[in-house]
Structure 1
Amino acid sequence: MNLEKLNLEHVLFLDIETVPEYASFEELEDIKQELWAEKTKYIRKDDYSAEEYYPRAGIWAEFGKIVCISVGFLSLKDEKRDFRLKTFAGEEQSILEDFSQLLNDHFNKAYHLLCAHNGKEFDFPFIARRMIIHQLKLPQKLNNTGKRPWEIPHLDTMELWRFGDYKHFTSLKLLTHVLGIPSPKNDISGSQVYEVFYHEKNIQRIIEYCERDVIAIAQIVLRLKQHKLLEDSEISSVSL
């Protein structure tokens, strides 16, 4: 990806928040409990039981679900920048249907790109898998079947930061810090989303956290392009 030639108005920045499909291990049907135990036995070793490890189930699409998808897109008019945020929350099927409609209606051209941090390893495949589980048709921007790597319309800020070093993992919190970007992790972290969703039942707190991540991802791309960072006055929430 040639960042110098990247048109930021063609990029949809996004982040997702996920939790285990159920609040507790006991709510899983017996076969799903067995499958969870089998899936995680080499990771858990003897340190955790399958039940104790269940709060981490949100990182697997087969055992987790999406509770919100936040997106952001940049508009440039007469040298004025406007970064617009939108979040889809509620029941997972509705989240996925609304997000799919956004892609099909507004980000369906060949030049449009999706951008997330570690998106190629997590966000993009997680969304696609959950859509398939809900028997929803994949929008073209998530359907990679038969495409060569350079034909897939996805940007990943972690990959951009690697500069070809595929052994290197950098968290969003670390990358924003070293690039002088305000941290999005000033309230909760990803590991706390399960607790906030199921115990605090505070989806608004999760939405705000997700939207801060989207802003941070956009700021990283701006920094990599050596552009001025967004100011608070240039960021707004919208309804589509």
Structure 2
Amino acid sequence: MLNNLNIEDVLFLDIETVPQYPVFADVPEKFRELWEKKSTYFRNDEQTAADVYERAGIYAEFGRIVCISVGYVVQKKGERYYRVKSFYDDDERKLLADFNNMLDRFTAHPGKCLCAHNGQEFDYPYIARRTLINRLRLPAILNIAGMKPWDVKDKLMDTLQLWKFGDYKNYTSLSVLCAAFDIPTPKDDIDGSQVAGVYYGENDIDRIVRYCEKDTLAVANLLLRFRGEEIIPMDQMEIVP
């Protein structure tokens, strides 16, 4: 499948999420009680629900999306470049409406697909769930309820699943695979666990956007490495307004 794939038909994707509220004290009472129950599965006896509230961002019921970046490969004068565009807004509903409209336009053409790292377990379902919570229509490519896995995998590619080769035991991070495949990553990136602090504490969405955009290029380069091809340098990434 990989060798037959037209790399220019792939839209590489990454999302950044945060808890819905800056601190646990701001959470409405109903959701505080629900988080108390949810967090019992992963907090220890010495921790309270408030102590682990920073983890709320990874759950679509308790978090929200602050940035979605997408990128694609283009050919110019016989050389590959990478174009990336980001959707970000404090109004998540507007962010998702704009992104989903773009996604429907892109995937309306035959052969188009998405690719993300751990997309099947995180990015794709998170976008779909937040779309429904915001009372928006699902984009066609994410409207997969009831579909067979083999009908989905060619539309919603996942570099983590490709790397597993059928192994279900281990999670391998994007950063580990970039190191293994000698894919350069910028040293100024924030860590995913810092996104909520940067968003709520520093109010620096631009920093989050740049981090998200660079992750999409890393995913694109990882897929190129899987195909035995040369990667696209960071200085050949073009940001689309």
TM-score normalized by the length of structure 1: 0.95
- Partners of 1:56 and 1:221 lie apart in 2 by 29
Aligned residue in 2 for 1:140: 140
RMSD of Structure 2 on Structure 1 (CA): 1.3
Deviations 1:156-215 (A, max 9, x none): 111111111111210011010010001256421111111111101111111111011001
Aligned amino acid, residue 178 of structure 2 = T
Residue of structure 2 equivalent to 1:118: 118
Q: Identify the match of residue 189 of structure 1 among 188, 191, 195.
A: 191
Cα distance in 1 for residues equivalent to 2:187 and 2:12: 17
Cα drift, residue 109 of structure 1:
3.1
| Alignment partner, residue 99 of structure 1 | 99
Q: Which amino acid in 2 is paired with 1:156?
A: D
Whichever residue aligns with residue 213 of structure 2, its letter is: E
Taking the TM superposition and a 5 Å limit, the aligned residue runs for 1:1-240 are 2-77=1-76, 79-90=78-89, 91-152=91-152, 153-183=155-185, 186-239=188-241
Runs of 5+ consecutive residues of structure 2 not aligned to the other structure = none
User: What secondary structure sits across from 2:95 in the alignment?
Assistant: helix
Shift, 1:74, TM fit: 1.1
Task: Check conservation: 2:12, 2:115, Cα contact below 8 A.
Answer: yes
User: How many residue pairs were aligned?
Assistant: 238
Instruction: Decide whether aligned partners of structure 1 residues 140 and 117 sit closer, same or farther in structure 2, where only a CA change above 3 A counts.
Output: same
Q: Distance in 1 between matches of 2:199 and 2:205?
A: 6
- Secondary structure of the 1:5 match is coil
8 A Cα contact 1:74 1:83, kept in partner? yes
**1:79: how far off?**
2.7
Which deviates further from its counterpart, 226-235 or 153-162?
Answer: 226-235
> Aligned AA for 2:233?
E
Shift of 1:151: 1.2
Segments of 4+ moved more than 4 angstroms:
none
Contact kept, 8 Å, 1:184 with 1:209, in 2: the verdict is: no
- What percentage of residue pairs aligned between the two structures are identical? 47
With normalisation by structure 2, the TM-score equals: 0.95
More divergent stretch after superposition (69-78 vs 137-146): 69-78
What secondary structure sits across from 2:75 in the alignment?
Answer: strand
Give deviations 1:62-81, integer Å, cap 9, x for gaps: 00000000000112355332
